[in-house]
Amino acid sequence: MSSSSSPPSSLGGGGPSSSRSRRRAGNNVWPEPFVEDLALLVATDASRSVGRLAAAQALSLIFQVCSTWQAVSHSDLLWQNLTRRIWNRNELLRQTWREEYIYWHQTANNFLHHRYAYNTLHLVPENNYDDDNNSIFCRRLALSDHHLAAGFSEGSVQLFFLPTRLHLSTFHPHHRDRLGRFSRAVSGIILSDVQLVFASLDGDIHVVVIGDAAPPRRAHLGDVVNDGALVDFTGCDQWWVGLYAGVPGRAFHIWNRETEELVFVGGELTDPEALIGWHLLTEVTEIVGRIRMTTRENAVACTSLLLMVIDLQNQGIIIRAQPSRRGLIVALFDARNSTLVAVDSRGVASVRGADDLEEICRFNVRGANQRGVVGCMNGGYALMWIGNVIRVWDIEHGAYLYSLRERTGDINAIITDERYVAACSSDATIHLWDFGAQ
C-alpha cells in the first residue's frame, strides 16, 4: 500500500506517550512549508497509485498528525497547488482554493456514483438543412467552464451559456469557393470563456472574441490543394495544432497561438489515409484521425494504424510512436492531461500515459466495432456511445461503472470535461448532463 494510505502513527502521531513527546519536541523543526510539501507529495502519491478521490483521505491523515500539521490545512497556497496537481485546475471560480478543491472532489464523486442533472439545449434557428437543402449534423463539440460550442457540417458554430443553457450566438465562416459539399464543415474547436477558435475541413481557421459583436476573423486561409483536408484541430494557450490528410508529408501543422504564425509543417502519420482525406470533402466517411493536447509542449495523435506523440516546442519531433496490430477505432480515441484511451478493433480499450504510451490498465468494450460509435474522456472517466447507450468506465482501474439512462438516438459528437457531458444526436438535439457539486 502506498504511503498515502499509511495510518497517522507512521507520520509521527497516534503512538504511546513517549512518541507524543518526541512529536511535540519535533514540532519546532517541522516548518509549515515542509509540511505543505509533504502533504502535496502524499496526496499526489495517493492520486496516482489509488485514484484522485483517494487524495482527500490521504490529506485527512496528514492533518490528524498534530495541531501544527492540522494548521497547514488553512494554507490557501497548499490548496491551490493541490487543485492544480490533482484536478488540473488553474482558475479560481470559488472564494478560496480549499473550496475549489472540495468542489472538484465532490463533482468527481458524482461521476463515480451516477449523480447528475439532465437537460437538452435548443439550436437556433431550428433548421436542420443547409443552403443546398442537405441535412446538417453536428461534427464537433467543445466545453469551457461557462460555455458550450457546437460545430456543424455546413460550417456554422453555435455558442451556448451553460449556467442558463441559453443560445448566445451563431457564427459563420467567411464565404469562399467550396471544393466539396463538406469543405466548410467544422473540424475542430478550441474554446475558453473569452475566445472561440474554429477550423474547417478546407483549412480555414476563424477566431471569435466571446461577447464582442464583431464577426469571426479569419486567422488562416486554408490551402486544400497543397495541404489536404484539415481533419482535426486542437490547441492550448500556446499552440494551435492541425492534423491533415490528403498530401503526403504534411500531416501536422503547428501555429504559435499568440502570433498566429505557422511554425511547422510536416509528418507522415496520415499518409496511408490520404485518399480518405480527399473523400471527406464530399461525403461522410470514417474518421481519419484525431489529435489532442496533453501538455503545453506535447500532443498525441491517433489513426487506425498508429498512436504518435509529438513535441510541439521542437518542430514536431516524434517522441513516441506505437503501431497497432489489430487496428484502432479512431472515433473512440481521446486524451486528457497525461492519459489517453485507445480501443482496438476487437474492443480492447487500453488506458495509457499520453507522453510515454505505457499501459496503465485495460478493459473490454462490447460492440466497439459497430459503425457510428463515438467516445470521449475526462481526467477520471471514459464515456462511449455504443449500441444506443452512453457507457461510463473508470480509467484509473478499468472498471465499468454504469450507463446513462437517457435515450438520445444516434450520436454524432460527444465531449466531456470534469463537470459536464454533452452529446449531439442526429436530430440536432444537444443533450447535457451536469455532474457539478451542488
Q: Which residues of 102-117 are buried (b: 16+ CB within 10 A; e: fewer)?
A: bbbbbbbebbbeeebe
Q: 362 burial class (0-12, 13-18, 19+ CB within 10 angstroms)?
A: middle
Regarding beta strands 166-171 and 157-161, do their DSSP bridges make them parallel or antiparallel, or are they unpaired? antiparallel
Q: Strands 228-235, 239-246: parallel, antiparallel or unpaired by DSSP?
A: antiparallel
pLDDT tens per residue, the chain (438 residues)? 333 333 333 333 333 333 333 344 344 455 678 888 999 999 999 999 999 999 999 999 989 888 878 888 999 999 999 999 999 999 999 999 999 999 999 999 999 999 999 999 988 775 555 555 467 899 999 999 999 999 999 999 999 999 999 999 999 999 887 788 899 999 999 999 999 999 999 999 999 999 998 999 999 999 999 999 999 999 999 999 999 999 999 999 999 999 999 999 999 999 999 999 999 999 888 899 999 999 878 999 999 999 999 999 898 899 999 999 999 999 999 999 999 999 999 999 999 999 999 999 999 999 988 888 999 999 999 999 998 899 999 999 999 999 999 989 899 999 999 999 999 998 889 999 999 977
Cell 469571426 identifies what position? 216
**Residues in contact with 106: Cβ distance below 8 Å, sequence separation at least 6, in sequence order:** 437
pTM: 0.89
What is the C-alpha end-to-end distance of the chain, expressed in Å? 33
d(CA 135, CA 131): 10
* Residue 85: all three cell numbers together: 496537481
How is the beta sheet containing 157-161 ordered, strand by strand? 138-143, 147-152, 157-161, 166-171
Separation in Å, CA 196 to CA 144, 150, 211: 10, 11, 11
In whole angstroms, give the CA distance from residue 271 to residue 275. Answer: 9
Question: E strands along 144-238, which residues?
Answer: 147-152, 157-161, 166-171, 186-191, 195-200, 205-209, 217-220, 228-235
* Integer Cα distance of 151 and 57 in angstroms: 41
